Structure 1
Amino acid sequence: MITENVTSEATLHQELEVLSVSKRLVRSLSQKLKRKNQEDETSGVSLRCPTMYTRGGGCKVSATTNEEFCEMGCQRRSSSSVEEGKPYKPICGPDDTNVDCFSYGVKERFRKRSIRKVPEAEGVVDVFLPDDIVEMCLVRLPLTSLMKARLVCKKWRNLTTAPRFLQLRRNGLFQSPWMFLFGSVKDGFCSREIHAYDVSFNKWHKINSDVIKGRFLFSVVSIQENVYIIGGFSSLNNFGRLDRSSVKTHKGVLVFSPLTNSWHKVASMKHARSKPVLGVYEVNSDSLTIKSQHSRDRRLVRTRVGGVSDVYEDPHRLSVRRQLRYSFDETEASFKPKNENPSRKDSRRFLIMAAGGVGSWDEPLDSCEIYDSLTNKWTEIQRLPVDFGVICSGTFCNGMFYGYSETDNLAAYNIERGYWVRIHSTSLPARVHEYHPKIISCENRLFMVSVSWCEGDGQIGRRNKAVRKIWELDLVYFNWEEISTHPDAPMDWNAMFVGDKNMIFGVEMFKIFGQVLDFMTMFNVSNVRKKWVHVSKNRVAHELDASSCVTKTVAFVHL
């Protein structure tokens, strides 16, 4: 019994000590709170409450108000304080004391933050914006501001690179046109630099990428916010040097995403080629069927004359080889995938057509292929028509791919029916054959930019001069009509012209007096005045080699 009484007295003594310690802690804490509240009254510190913090997260912002306020989650001041006219203070106290606060039975813990002193007439309220509001703000930023915003935090970077964000930016019409110039050469080496031009702000930017270093004479085409780099050469002897003595011809395809500054690969072409003629067509139906030509069936193809094989009359099979490319023994292949993914029903579908180009042995190619963005596959189609010549330009217009050759032949490929159609125009414009014409499509209209000789303004002794003219093709009667003349002299025989909505952009680079110059012009096909406008002059090319004039290529993207 004595032992039990001693033990109970010791336990009671320990509990009393603990209770006294807790009372001292509570007393000291209350005193600190009182002193802190008195300081807040004199310094005008903002009042915050737990309900200002959203449960779903968000980003902290600051707003200045004329009156200090608190949401309904904070406990209201008592009636006695109202009668005495005391200033209102939340029962939870300041948020930098790291104490527990109870509001309607919900326990909230405040984090320590630095408090900024403001004048007494102003108050600062720190709140957290929901993610959807932050997304609505970021989606309206220009591309350069958006790139800087991604450096703020990981949350903003992940938010602005998500597919949902890219779709909102595309559907909200917040994009602006950008031009990307590829194929620059410095000190004899293929540069990794990509020059981007913001048309809205009239400013050039430089992007470095090691992926395309050492690659030259490739073709580019844009699909939505991505740029496809197709084919090209790369030197085998000295990586990165512009050398045609020993090169590798590529059939791979790279995709560059300027919004995320990332690269990835897609399916490779059937044939390796450099500088192929490209065209992009948006497909509205997933059940599109096209004619495809399989290489395994070529040896069984009969000739078009009499339908009898002439192998015995031609031991070297030369005539058979010639007729293989124009065979009618073709099979139908559908681009519709067998197992369609329901999540991709709303995605837009595009086709890329690659025609011609230069092969591995520097031979001109007449083969054609089509890439489907939905199935990620290339399909070989019918070759160019007989005696068409080397194709030098092409584009899609009203669902038809129009190709123009160096020998002034025009043909159109019908994707649904799978064959080429020769187009004979009655008023073919005369041109200088050293300059290959470029055909462009704008607003379902087909244009061609070519160089022609112009008389010397009717004055005696004046020489004829070469000028660039833009022609439009009547798609009903197939007549060419001149609509405008370019103001500059055609100094660049490899000038690039790209169509974008109702605009035609031209990029020229040439070397004169030991310096490489560049000019960028713009033409509005809907404008009644029909005049070219100078956009940029001598901003990029003076740092590049003269070889850039040959290797350059241009793509237009809305970002």
Structure 2
Amino acid sequence: MFRQLIQQVQHLVDLHGFPPPPPPIPTVPPSPTVLALPLQLHDDRWCFLNVENYHFENDCDSFIMKAKKPGKTQKKQELTENLGSNESLKEEIWKYFPEELYETVIARLPIATFFRFRSVCKNWNSLLNSNSFTLQCGQLISPQPWFYTITHEKVNAGAMYDPVSTKWHYLLIPKMPKEKIILPVASAGGLLCFHDDGHRSFYVCNPLTNSFKELPARSARIGLRVYVGMILNKKSNNGGYQIMLVASDGEYEVYDSTMNRWTRIGSLPDCISLPLSLNFRLKIVAANRLMYLLRSDPHGIVSFDMESRVWRQYLVPPPPHSRDHALVECGGRIMMVGLVTKNAASCVSVWELQKMTLLWKEVDRMPNEMSLEFYGKHVKLFCLGNSGLIMLSLESGMINRLVTYDISKEEWLTVPDCVLRHSLTQLRIARGTAFHPSLTATA
């Protein structure tokens, strides 16, 4: 940008010429009294204007002029001219600003800011269809996930929470069937996986761009209570994603988006105790190409390697006085959240799995001031996100409180109430999952 500016100045010099520069003025160290004088009194013969803040004219007097002590009227006139010149200069600078730098900067804006900026001009509005902009966004990963939820009051409408701006966004996915209850069950790479309440149909969608796909019919019927996991298919050259279903009887299937079909792999090996005692609200945790499931009776963790198709089971007893457990992960660390109840007090705790001893070690606990509201009440805990930043729903009667916990920062924050516009009624979160917002993920 500055190179172009210098070239324009040089072109004007060659075209009109400049008078020779004035001889250097001998400098005399100023006295303390002189230091206190206004800047324009340092030299009353020549005044070099700030080229960076001045509009280029064809007259060389616009660059070098004799300075006189201006009166009030002259000062006001010069101020008005300078303001107009600054606006013209800004237009000249931004006129030659490289388009690729626009895309580089915009791709790094917060997602919510980007959607506001789409109204600036037609070019910015069409960025989503630009291959170069898509490439820029594909190289970036959102630092914090968003949370997509549905509520008891509006089951077929989504509410997305942005933890950066601490705001809720409400939306409808146009192609989603309205006659069924559609539940968000998993996510990967900016995409969300949904299924209907009968597990007969599955859908994948990018809620930000409305990229939508209904998956083909499954090869076999799996029971109503299933675990659903989703992971990016990084091993394939075509990219894409994989979705895994596991039923309590041990039957499981895998969907591969590159082949657009379900494959019935078979049943769990004999080393896995059946039936699996599954909680349909819990989610599969994906970490380092492994899928982790939390089970009970016997208590432990079941893992599945998506590449080698190998199953393993680890019997891990739960922490004492704890319930409503949910698996979470952070940077490959396998962790768990749950409620600890003693006497009349209930508190949310966080544990990390010790790989050497296969025991849970408590690493953090929700501050007491957040737990006082539920003292002496029966509380239910639901986990709505399980990677890095997690969202917890605490329910007791008509009370529904949402809290986020940043695992790496060990930071607890209260989430603003989910309230529709022009309404004072708080919506109660029913189901949800975390996802990393993406402008380029395609279903």
The alignment's TM-score, normalised by the length of structure 1, stands at 0.54
Structure 2: gaps of 5 or more residues: 19-56, 60-79, 439-443
Counterpart Cα distance in 2 of 1:73 and 1:370: 68
Structure 1 equivalent of residue 137 of structure 2: 169
1:196-275 alignment to 2 at 5 Å? 196-212=160-176, 213-216=178-181, 218-229=183-194, 231-233=195-197, 249-258=199-208, 260-270=209-219, 271=221
Counterpart Cα distance in 2 of 1:365 and 1:428: 23
Deviation at 1:147, TM superposition (A): 0.6
2:104 equivalent among 120, 127, 136: 136
Judge conservation of contact 1:520–1:535 (CA < 8 Å) in 2: yes
Q: Which amino acid in structure 1 is aligned with residue 161 of structure 2?
A: Y
Shift of the 220–397 alpha-carbon distance from structure 1 to 2, 3 Å rule, reads same
Deviation at 1:201, TM superposition (A): 2.2
Q: Does 1:181 align with 2:141?
A: no
1:451 equivalent among 301, 325, 339: 339
Q: Which amino acid in structure 1 is aligned with residue 252 of structure 2?
A: C
Identity of aligned residues (%): 16
Q: Which amino acid in structure 1 is aligned with residue 404 of structure 2?
A: T
Structure 1 equivalent of residue 363 of structure 2: 483
Counterpart Cα distance in 2 of 1:266 and 1:499: 24
Q: Which amino acid in structure 1 is aligned with residue 258 of structure 2?
A: L
Counterpart Cα distance in 1 of 2:394 and 2:174: 24
Cα RMSD for the two superposed structures: 3.9
Structure 1: gaps of 5 or more residues: 1-51, 53-64, 80-86, 90-117, 234-247, 287-344, 357-363, 455-462
Counterpart Cα distance in 2 of 1:388 and 1:496: 24
Deviation at 1:495, TM superposition (A): 0.8
Q: Does 1:405 align with 2:319?
A: no
1:292-371 alignment to 2 at 5 Å? 345=237, 348-356=239-247, 366-371=250-255
Structure 2 equivalent of residue 423 of structure 1: 314
Q: Which amino acid in structure 2 is aligned with residue 423 of structure 1?
A: Y
Judge conservation of contact 1:160–1:166 (CA < 8 Å) in 2: yes
1:285 equivalent among 226, 232, 235: 235
1:1-16 alignment to 2 at 5 Å? none
Shift of the 180–388 alpha-carbon distance from structure 1 to 2, 3 Å rule, reads same
Judge conservation of contact 2:384–2:391 (CA < 8 Å) in 1: yes
Shift of the 464–190 alpha-carbon distance from structure 1 to 2, 3 Å rule, reads closer
Structure 2 equivalent of residue 437 of structure 1: 325
The alignment's TM-score, normalised by the length of structure 2, stands at 0.66
Shift of the 140–480 alpha-carbon distance from structure 1 to 2, 3 Å rule, reads closer
Q: Which amino acid in structure 1 is aligned with residue 405 of structure 2?
A: M
Counterpart Cα distance in 2 of 1:415 and 1:88: 69
Q: Does 1:159 align with 2:127?
A: yes
Judge conservation of contact 1:218–1:275 (CA < 8 Å) in 2: no
Counterpart Cα distance in 2 of 1:88 and 1:398: 64
Q: Give per-residue Cα distances to partners, 1:341-397, cap 9 Å, x unaligned.
A: xxxx4x6454332223xxxxxxx6643222224333322223344423332343233
Judge conservation of contact 2:298–2:315 (CA < 8 Å) in 1: no
Judge conservation of contact 1:232–1:273 (CA < 8 Å) in 2: no
Structure 2 equivalent of residue 377 of structure 1: 261
Structure 2 equivalent of residue 316 of structure 1: none
Q: Which amino acid in structure 2 is aligned with residue 543 of structure 1?
A: T
Counterpart Cα distance in 2 of 1:130 and 1:265: 40
Kindly indicate whether structure 1 or structure 2 has the higher relative contact order, using CA contacts under 8 Å at least 6 residues apart. Answer: 2
